Amino acid sequence: MNVDLVVAGSGFFGLTVAERCAAGLGLRVLVLDRRDHIGGNAYSEIEPETGIEVHRYGAHLFHTSNERVWEYANRFTAFTGYRHRVYSTFKGRVYPMPINLGTICEYFGRAFTPDEARALIAAQAAEVTAPANLEEKAISLIGRPLYEAFIRGYTAKQWQTDPRDLPAEIITRLPVRYTFDNRYFDDTHEGLPVDGYTAWLERMADHPNIEVRLNTDFLDLRDDVVGNVPVVYTGPLDRYFGYAEGELGWRTLDFALEVQPTGDFQGTPVMNYADEDVPYTRIHEFRHFHPERDCYPSDRTVIMREFSRAAERGDEPYYPVNTAADRARLLAYRELVAREDGVLFGGRLGTYKYLDMHMAIASALGMVDNKLRPHFRGDSRLTNGGPGGSGGSSPQEGHGGVDE
């Protein structure tokens, strides 16, 4: 195999590694992907009937406060001025999310000052002092009324489990803004790629030292590659080791795409549905991600309903469940990883962490700086300190409210 590095997976992590090693280190890089397209879950495509760009695997919103990541992304794409705002439907009424002063005023039916709203939520949250499960933790943060309206049903649908049976650590924080600011993200930089995600990803892979092979499973070639060529593996960690320590738990998503005979179905890019008797968690309407595009039809629009369920083998994993049993299995897999010389594990699947796009890019840049560059300069062996030992950032685990 006449290459210097094999990268298994062409998502943002894998393509960042490939591009930096090809352009920055002059390496010949082979990128393999089981799918028929590059880009992993960030892949976007044009819906043929309407010409509207669709995010095949759910809405992806780019945002970051990491200046290095922002500068790197701008090498391959310009960004629109898009700012993400989400609304939630509960009992036939619509509220801005995340919870802010507008949500509180609308829900309780009166005008509050910021101090009055803080006092109200503090009083309602005081009923729980030592939370033992997700429900109690959420109530301790935002009070019972807002929990019952916006968190309970949505969470039950996401996890298909009563929130009282879920661990408290699943929700580490619930943002509440005591202003009317309803932006979803607080990061310094935010926007959507002007030409779409696939164009951005294709530019990252467009280097003479990079070869991309689609419809190719790295594990079918592993015996010919591992030990002969350095590898960066971004596929499922448990699958790499043949599920030797058991299967890690993931949530997956199912999508139902529809072309609707109207120019505007819901008036916003993402509408959450908090009522437990509504089977889907949210509806995406993709035309609203790019209001600057005047080529979209005025009489048709594309929506996508999103459903959450437990992942089974063969499903696309999205969110790590991260139960106590999962954490025990992960520790066992880390022991196997530490003995796997010549292979680095990264990305969402390879580390069993939920990574936003900017986190994946930051972690990949760290892996190149701290592992791959020293190795190819002859300064160090290519070894692991565990699946998270890429030398990148330390991503926070997400609750899965919005894909990125």
Sign of torsion, CA 353 385 168 131? negative
Type of residue found at 181: D
Residue 314: what pLDDT?
A: 87
Residue 171: what pLDDT?
A: 83
Integer Cα distance of 399 and 404 in angstroms: 12
pTM listed for this prediction = 0.92
Residue 393: what pLDDT?
A: 37
Q: Which of 43, 56, 354, 404 is catalytic?
A: 354
Judge whether 52 and 301 are in contact, CB under 8 Å. yes
Percent of the chain as helix, strand, coil, to the nearest 5: 35, 20, 45
Q: Which of 36, 115, 173, 277 is catalytic?
A: 173
The two three-digit tokens of residue 139, written as one number: 């109530």
The two three-digit tokens of residue 316, written as one number: 């696309």
Answer yes or no: 306 catalytic: yes
Stretches where the chain sits below pLDDT 70 are 385-404
Judge whether 111 and 105 are in contact, CB under 8 Å. yes
Domain definitions of the chain by residue range = 5-79+189-247+317-377, 86-170
Q: Which of 306, 326, 403, 404 is catalytic?
A: 306
Tokens 């991503």, residue? 395
Answer yes or no: 251 catalytic: yes
Q: Which of 282, 300, 329, 348 is catalytic?
A: 282
> Got the DSSP string for 241-305?
TTTTT-PPPEEEEEEEEEEESSS-SSSSSEEEE--TTSSSSEEEEGGGG-TT-TTS-SS-EEEEE
Tokens 């499960």, residue? 133
Q: What three-state secondary structure class fits 5? A: strand
Answer yes or no: 222 catalytic: no
Type of residue found at 283: I
Q: What topology does CATH give the domain 5-79+189-247+317-377?
A: Rossmann fold (3.40.50)
Nearest to 252 by CA among 319, 313, 314: 319
Judge whether 134 and 164 are in contact, CB under 8 Å. yes
Q: Which of 20, 56, 177, 334 is catalytic?
A: 177
The two three-digit tokens of residue 384, written as one number: 């692991």
Answer yes or no: 177 catalytic: yes
Query: Beta partners for 213?
Result: 32
Q: Which of 20, 56, 152, 251 is catalytic?
A: 251
Q: Which of 135, 136, 356, 403 is catalytic?
A: 356
Judge whether 241 and 340 are in contact, CB under 8 Å. no
Judge whether 43 and 267 are in contact, CB under 8 Å. no
Answer yes or no: 381 catalytic: no
Nearest to 182 by CA among 118, 104, 97: 97
Nearest to 33 by CA among 230, 232, 199: 232
Q: Which residues neighbour 109 within 8 Å (Cβ) at sequence distance 6 or greater?
A: none
Angle value at C-alpha 400, between 394 and 404, nearest 5 degrees: 70
Nearest to 254 by CA among 56, 81, 94: 56
